[in-house]
Structure 1
Amino acid sequence: MRYTIRDMRSAESPLLEDFLYEAIFLPEGTAPPPKSILNEEALRVYIREFGSQPGDVCLMAEAGGQAVGAVWARIMDDYGHVDDETPSLAISLYPAYRGRGIGTNLLEHMLTRLRQGGYKQVSLSVQKANPAANLYRRMGFEIFRGTEEEWIMVRRL
């Protein structure tokens, strides 16, 4: 599959709502939540006025002229928060584009971008049952702390 990784265009910021919804992990057999779940403050923090804060960065995977995946990071008090100097990361792909290495490529590009931006580390939150946790481990993320259901993971840059 041919695709490119590029910076998000300002006009594409509304797409982050779609990608945030796609990032919600659903264990097998679980019905998807209503889209209105994105109105909850715990999720709005990921996308509200994205691009307006220093350090907001988003990369898109584009295939066939459309965005098919996104990875974005910002300093925020979210599920993956570790401190006020560490950006938290979110990543998702539309289902038809998963399992093709695009997420790994997006993540590699984001780690490079954050390192070039002078950040020392990046964090994220992932449910233990989410297969993406294996990707994060392969990419050098380590468990920072956890609960019964999820881990906060950190990757040194």
Structure 2
Amino acid sequence: MTDIVVRSIDERDVPFLWEMLYASLYTRAEDEPFERDIIHSPGLSKYVEGWGRVGDFGFVAVATHGGQDRRLGSITLRFFNEQNAGFGYVNAETPEMGMAIIEEARGQGVGTRLIQAALEEAKQRGIAAVSLSVDPDNEAIRLYRRFGFVEVGMCDTSVTMVCTIQ
């Protein structure tokens, strides 16, 4: 039997966060995939580089089976400011959320569990809202809407969404 555990990110997860950053880059079926080293460009590397700074938090979903652990996905929340704004930036008090699930684990509730953990932690930290950026054609947008994320704008070709924490 496989159990899925959602736990806080620690330093051993940083290489996986880089993998998930790449996995989070949405491409349509007819498009060529991005080169892997695109994640080291300044516009993207800011989401993982130096992970563990003050204010950073997030979770990893891990499947355990027969004593073996396998990471299934991650969710990160990181604060930015106007000078290093991310694609889903709304203000310096609102962390930007990034999430990715490995392909074979999508559609199995992993994203739901990660978002639940992230929003609960944000609430405990007294954070008023969380933002994200998503391609309007990405199916994940439906999941985000289920959690109360609403569209507040566009950045390039991505929708910026915000969830007010209750």
Could you report, residue by residue, the CA deviation over 1:42-65 in whole angstroms, capped at 9, with x for unpaired residues? Answer: 10110010102x210020000131
Distance change (3 Å), C-alpha of 1:82 and 1:148: closer
Instruction: Tell me, in whole angstroms, the C-alpha distance in 2 between the residues paired with 1:136 and 1:108.
Output: 11
Map of 1:38 onto structure 2: 39
Map of 1:66 onto structure 2: 70
Map of 1:149 onto structure 2: 157
1:80-91 pair list within 5 angstroms: 80-91=88-99
Amino acid at match of 2:71: A
Q: Structure 1-normalised TM-score? A: 0.95
1:15-34 pair list within 5 angstroms: 15-34=16-35
**Secondary structure at 2:31's aligned position in 1?**
coil
Map of 1:133 onto structure 2: 141
**Secondary structure at 1:28's aligned position in 2?**
coil
- Listed as ranges, the gaps of 5+ residues in structure 1 are none
Give % identity: 29
Runs of 4+ in 1 over 6 A off after TM superposition: none
Query: Is it true that 1:55 corresponds to 2:63 in the alignment?
Result: no
Number of equivalent positions: 156
Instruction: Tell me, in whole angstroms, the C-alpha distance in 1 between the residues paired with 2:159 and 2:18.
Output: 23
Shift, 1:29, TM fit? 2.0
1:106-117 pair list within 5 angstroms: 106-117=114-125
Q: Structure 2-normalised TM-score? A: 0.90
Instruction: Tell me, in whole angstroms, the C-alpha distance in 2 between the residues paired with 1:24 and 1:148.
Output: 14
